[in-house]
Amino acid sequence: MTVIKQIVFLKRRADLALPEFKAYYESHHRKIGERVLGGYATQYLRRYLVPLGAEPPGGFEFDVMTEMWFPNESVQKACMQHLSDPVIQEEIAIDEAKLFEPGTKWGCLVSEVESSMP
């Protein structure tokens, strides 16, 4: 089965502590994502980075990886077209300004290769 995974890497605003950032994302921004991705994405995940010790100098380049899974390429492209609606873009941009450091958002499609482990 082919699944298209799109990942967006996001850095929190410098004035937000990680717990505050995560709480807002999960209680507000996530709901926008669920609504605008509904009918397109089969999964919508947020993967937060949690330091195992000291953060690298200057901090992490991103604080959360947002994954959107689509059943195929045509659905992913249709979703991106849907998200290009100016009303949707404005709503997302207004909420993103409350969370993310400007100019640090970037995304990609993911090609996965899995190893079978003994």
Neighbour-count burial for 82-97, b at 16+ CB within 10 Å, e otherwise = eeeeeeeeeeeeebbe
Q: What is the pLDDT of residue 1?
A: 61
- Whole-angstrom distance, CA of residue 105 vs CA of residue 6: 13
In a domain, 85, yes or no: yes
In a domain, 5, yes or no: no
Q: What is the pLDDT of residue 99?
A: 96
Q: What is the pLDDT of residues 59-118, one digit of tens each?
A: 778 999 999 999 999 999 999 999 999 999 999 999 999 999 999 999 999 987 778 899
Higher-pLDDT residue of 1 and 104 is: 104
Q: What is the pLDDT of residues 19-67, one digit of tens each?
A: 999 999 999 999 999 999 999 999 999 999 887 877 777 777 899 999 9
- Which residues contact residue 39 at a Cβ distance below 8 angstroms, ignoring those fewer than 6 apart? none
Count the domains in the chain: 1
Q: What is the pLDDT of residue 30?
A: 97
In a domain, 118, yes or no: no
- Whole-angstrom distance, CA of residue 2 vs CA of residue 4: 7
In a domain, 43, yes or no: yes
In a domain, 18, yes or no: yes
In a domain, 2, yes or no: no
Task: Give the β-pairing of 106-110 and 43-48.
Answer: unpaired
In a domain, 47, yes or no: yes
In a domain, 115, yes or no: no
Q: What CATH number corresponds to the domain at position 71?
A: 3.30.70
Domain encompassing residue 74: 10-110
Percentage of the chain surpassing pLDDT 70?
A: 99
